[in-house]
Amino acid sequence: MDMSKFRNILLFILISVSYSQETLSQPQIPSVKEFLSDDSGTYDSYIYGIESGFAWASELYYRKHKIEFYCIPNNIDLPASKLRQVIIDSINNKPGFFKKYENEPLIGLALRNGLINQFPCQ
């Protein structure tokens, strides 16, 4: 194989890989409106990621400051359906705010507020 063909093939592969990584690596963060209109579970991984981040942050904050954000009992599982309901309840508790910002990616805020409201610490 001559060098020009090899160079062209290598260039094609590099461009293809670069394009596919760029396309795949951009997570889709839903707006409030997109989240509420989706019933297919498209955003379940996103919700789990946010919940995991809050659990980690809550534990770290407790270790440093002895303050808990929320207290989920050990016997409660939080599947995606439950997390979705926590978010929806939080949105329904502040309909004016979330209607005003329905095109913004505020699902994390709704989940945080919902976890604090549904699982307060004694």
* Distance separating alpha carbons of residues 120 and 84, to the nearest angstrom: 18
**What's the number of domains the chain is made of?**
1
> Per-residue pLDDT tens for 16-51?
555 544 445 455 789 999 999 998 988 999 999 999
Asked, for residue 106, whether it belongs to a domain, the answer is yes
> Per-residue pLDDT tens for 59-101?
888 999 998 989 999 898 899 999 999 999 999 999 999 999 9
Find the domain containing 102 and state its range: 28-118
Asked, for residue 4, whether it belongs to a domain, the answer is no
Q: Which amino acid is at 53?
A: G
**Confidence (pLDDT) at 9:** 63
74 φ/ψ angles, rounded to the nearest 5 degrees: -65, -25
Asked, for residue 48, whether it belongs to a domain, the answer is yes
2 three-class SS: coil
| Contact between 86 and 70 (Cβ < 8 Å) | no
**Confidence (pLDDT) at 122:** 79
**Half-sphere exposure for 49 (CA within 13 Å, toward CB):** 8
Asked, for residue 5, whether it belongs to a domain, the answer is no
**Confidence (pLDDT) at 22:** 46
Asked, for residue 77, whether it belongs to a domain, the answer is yes
